[in-house]
Amino acid sequence: MSVADALATIRASLSVAVGRETVALWEADGRIVAEPVLAPMALPPFDNAAVDGYALRFDDLAPSGPTALPVAARIPAGSASAPLPPGTAARIFTGAPLPPGADTVAMQEETRIEGGTVVLPAGLARHANRRRAGEDVAPGALALSEGHRLGPRSLALAAALGLQSLTVRPRLRIALFSTGDEVCAEGGRLGPARIHDANRPMLAALLARTGARVSDGGILPDSRGALRDRLLGAAADHDLIVTSGGVSVGEEDHVRAVIGDIGALTLWRLAIKPGRPLAFGRIGRVPFVGLPGNPAAAYATALAILGPVVLHLTGAEPAPPLPLVRSGFAFAKKGGRREFLKVSLRVAADGVTEAVMAPGGALSALAASDGLVELPEDAEAIRPGDLLAYRPHAPV
């Protein structure tokens, strides 16, 4: 199955995890907005100066040539002022409210002081350097949409609107397992023919960046009974179950068969490299994603499949289109499958950023790379200069 068809099949079977909760603004980073947020006030809340300078009435300016006006007031930020008398100017600072009657601000650098008057330049435009109340956000306007992932920029907007808390989706509860008798917990003592588990730390870090609460289920043995019991137990109190390994065609790959016994398998095997053995299904009402055991394949399929699953379950807005980066290498691939390559970025001689293949083996190249380029199914040859979809190493 192609990646696009797989995602369409998966999304059709998923619904947003229900529920909402209210959290303080200081605790809302990374959370998903659960209901539209309408602006309770205008931004800015009053007409104000965009620069340090002098506030004035435009109609007091001479039709041609400079204008000299007496300085009648001084208005620092945070202070209000009485109405500006006609025929005068007020010294004003960035962010300070314009005094009633004033509609224009002359930049300090364009003026000069002569005694108690300010000489204003000719050619000043009406409303120059004036920020109007509500020009950023009007009262009642949509400030944050449902499904928006909160971050530093949107939290700044919420704070400027005077909000102290936001209504968000609950954090997803994700149970994470590795599988295989050959897999040893990271840092454990290796026996003959055993390997350290790279997948759980990697996937836990990826999933934590989505704001999920990740439960470490440990390593499941190659035993149908143990797999059945542990996965059923996890389904009782989690929103999503994720495993790595055990979904290929080997006689000791039991995960796919167990899911068929205790739940339903929706899809298996993708036209993707690395990562063809991938399973999606359900255990009761809980979605299940079975990733490949190879760490590089698990990483690629986590970005391509697991990430969209998490976004959909949280009700998050779809991810934006991938940016394009110029290829700095040639590559031949098999048609009919999507392929992910580990790349590093560099600035070419003409000043354009381009991607080159990251050096090393499967995991060393992944660790050294800046991201992955995604080659579409219909591509069979990549040439230097081609534009490629680029996935930076970022939250799924």
Q: Give, for all 396 residues of the chain, the pLDDT tens digit.
A: 899 999 999 999 998 877 899 999 999 999 999 999 999 999 999 999 999 999 999 999 999 999 999 999 999 999 998 999 999 999 999 999 999 999 999 999 999 999 899 999 999 999 999 999 999 999 999 999 999 999 999 999 999 999 999 999 999 999 999 998 888 887 777 778 888 899 999 999 999 998 899 999 999 988 889 999 999 999 999 999 999 987 765 555 678 888 888 999 898 888 999 988 889 999 999 999 999 999 999 999 999 999 999 999 999 998 889 999 999 999 999 999 999 999 999 999 999 999 999 999 889 999 999 999 999 999 999 999 999 999 998 654
Three-state secondary structure call for residue 27: helix
Amino acid found at 258: V
- Rounded Cα distance between 167 and 33, Å, is 6
> What's the whole-model pTM score?
0.86
Contact 180, 246 (CB under 8 A): yes
pLDDT at 249: 59
CA distance readout (Å), 14 to 170, 231, 262: 17, 19, 18
pLDDT at 238: 96
- Nearest to 118, CA basis, from 101, 131, 104: 104
Q: Given phi > 0 = left and psi -120 to 50 = alpha, else beta, which region is 380?
A: alpha
Is the CA virtual torsion 222, 223, 224, 227 positive or negative? negative
Contact 313, 287 (CB under 8 A): yes
pLDDT at 175: 97
pLDDT at 306: 95
- Nearest to 169, CA basis, from 337, 283, 15: 15
Please give the structure tokens belonging to residue 199: 């997948």
pLDDT at 182: 86
CA 365 to chain centre: 24
- Rounded Cα distance between 107 and 355, Å, is 45
